[in-house]
Structure 1
């Protein structure tokens, strides 16, 4: 991970300058920021009020996240055909990066299923990101199921069974009535391979280091954040869209 403390970006300098100016109410803060000088009062105040630095760090992180998301937004919110949970035409959109061998993804599967069941307007764009050992074939078959219009059923069956071995994947596929010959061919197609690379690229661009990870609106949420946080984030994203 890049150490962003070594050299401040123009954005970071601007935010720090604004913080100091607001704190002390005079323009000298700008001079101190760009010249690398610091008044003793500034040092003392920041030492005595470390939460200000935390607030700045959080503001910078949020701004960086928005900038990263802006660079991939259109593609990120365009799903692989059929790889969707919930209502494909839903007005509320959540993106999830998932891995079938990730225990936190299994917990998040239940959270997302709960939200989908409760909200007919929820559309969940699924991003298969197989980062655990033994997950790639499961991810490939999930996308193959999507091409047959059976992604949601396969996704649920695989998480409920908890078996990503070849036999487990085949059993899940048979249980939901997939055309296995077609699915196996589609799973190894260039189209599916490209999708897995795209999802990896999206995750790296957004700064995610593991699964699960979620995006809604301009909000990035790494980790198993729980059903309530997902619901809150969806409401925040919807309010932000309505206000803009």
Structure 2
């Protein structure tokens, strides 16, 4: 079988069941059943049930992204300084990759606040992902400096409350939060931004906000119910 067919068959096997399609290991092994017969089983079943293709591919994509999350978990869930909120001993960590110039990230602020109020066992980790403009990168550097100084949330709230992101609003937020920007460890901060960019690319993130919870990667300004469902699934796992 082709390199595409094998993972697809494996994904279909999970949906069809052992009675219709054998296990992926059997498909892949040299001593397995005749390839033409296997392909005929899959072909006939897919023709009869074409609706399973999107389900199978979604399942395959989720499994692959879960493996990538697991391989990079420490870089994802370990906060930079004080860039976190909620229960420090929380049983589930929700990670938000955000950009200060992202309107959808701004719109998600009340939802995040509600999540923290409704779930006392949740920890949220914030990861700067400045992808929209140079001003986003300037804001991220200031944000991470605030995190180094234990003042991330104060700066985070002040910058969002200060209107459009600019040098002036960044400076004003830093003053309000008591963050010193004069002697910033730029090497450590730039390394953190580069790490976030690298991990986000590995996880297939192409915009903000993006979220990681458990082994799942989610995208966009999601309704609170969808994130709560993902949190509950991670908690159950």
| TM-score after normalising by structure 1 | 0.82
1:14 is matched with which residue: 10, 19, 27? Answer: 10
Question: Contact conserved, 1:143 with 1:151, CA < 8 A, in 2?
Answer: yes
- Residue 59 of structure 1 and its aligned partner are, at CA, apart by 1.4
The equivalent of 1:103 in structure 2 is 103
- Residue 121 of structure 1 and its aligned partner are, at CA, apart by 2.6
Deviations 1:55-83 (A, max 9, x none): 21111111111111121012222111111
The equivalent of 1:228 in structure 2 is 225
Question: Contact conserved, 1:17 with 1:33, CA < 8 A, in 2?
Answer: no
Confirm or deny that 1:216 pairs with 2:213.
yes
How many Å separate the matches in 2 of 1:72 and 1:160? 33
- Residue 34 of structure 1 and its aligned partner are, at CA, apart by 4.2
How many Å separate the matches in 2 of 1:237 and 1:7? 31
- Residue 37 of structure 1 and its aligned partner are, at CA, apart by 7.5
Question: Contact conserved, 1:210 with 1:223, CA < 8 A, in 2?
Answer: yes
The equivalent of 1:62 in structure 2 is 62
How many Å separate the matches in 1 of 2:176 and 2:22? 69
Change (3 A) 1:18 1:176: closer
Question: Contact conserved, 2:94 with 2:211, CA < 8 A, in 1?
Answer: yes
Runs of 4+ in structure 1 deviating by more than 6 angstroms, as ranges, are none
The equivalent of 1:131 in structure 2 is 131
How many Å separate the matches in 2 of 1:78 and 1:219? 16
Question: Contact conserved, 1:97 with 1:214, CA < 8 A, in 2?
Answer: yes
- Residue 19 of structure 1 and its aligned partner are, at CA, apart by 5.5
SS of structure 2 residue aligned to 1:135: helix
| TM-score after normalising by structure 2 | 0.84
Q: Note the residue ranges of structure 1 that are not aligned, 5 or more in a row.
A: 1-5
Question: Contact conserved, 1:109 with 1:159, CA < 8 A, in 2?
Answer: no
The equivalent of 2:113 in structure 1 is 113
Matches within 5 A, 1:21-170: 22=18, 24=20, 34-35=35-36, 38-39=39-40, 43=43, 45-133=45-133, 134-170=135-171
Change (3 A) 1:38 1:89: closer
Q: Note the residue ranges of structure 2 that are not aligned, 5 or more in a row.
A: none
How many Å separate the matches in 2 of 1:18 and 1:92? 27
- Residue 185 of structure 1 and its aligned partner are, at CA, apart by 2.5
- Residue 32 of structure 1 and its aligned partner are, at CA, apart by 8.6
Q: CA RMSD in A?
A: 2.8
